[in-house]
Amino acid sequence: MAEDLIITGNTKNELYEGLLPQIKGLITGESNQVANLGNICAALKETFDFFWIGFYIVDGKELVLGPFQGPVACTRIAHGRGVCGTAWAKNETQLVPDVDLFPGHIACSSLSKSEVVIPISKNGIVVAILDVDSSELNDFDATDVEYLTEICQWASDLF
């Protein structure tokens, strides 16, 4: 079966509007967590060419690296540490326009300049986070948060 992504739209909003139904189509009917999280990352990376995008999954008192696209990354992050661990501990999205100004930011790559991290929760408990990094400062906004949050709500069904 062909699984080509069709990328249409000029604005960020239009790109997400075109992408979300395709992501929904990719994950509907498949319950495997790795397969679906992998395809979500690939679809977002292909559309927006993010520097790094991936999931970290709660594993006891740490987050462990899950499916991702981009350069190799830190494998484990402690609860409350860095942007990812903070999103987990607070169960709140972290929109970081300049990672150097975020206390405790974990620099998996010195090329990462801005970041958005969205918690994925199941019955109010965080089970994973989605982390997106850009090599540009101030690259994420409320539009990214809105659409990525919707994707994360679908992803919570995989836990």
Report the interface residues with ligand SME, using CB under 6 A: 52, 73-74, 77, 82-85, 105-106, 108, 112, 115, 131, 133
Nearer to ligand SME, 7 or 34 (CB): 34
Select the residue whose beta carbon is closest to ligand SME and give its number. 82
Instruction: Tell the smallest beta-carbon distance from residue 100 to ligand SME (Å).
Output: 11
Cα atoms in the 13 Å half-sphere on the side-chain side of 107: 12
| Assigned token pair, 129 | 């986070």
Q: How far apart are CA 38 and CA 33, in angstroms?
A: 8
The residue to which tokens 């006891």 are assigned = 60
Nearer to ligand SME, 22 or 105 (CB): 105
Nearer to ligand SME, 26 or 87 (CB): 87
Q: How far apart are CA 140 and CA 126, in angstroms?
A: 22
Nearer to ligand SME, 82 or 119 (CB): 82
Instruction: Tell the smallest beta-carbon distance from residue 38 to ligand SME (Å).
Output: 16
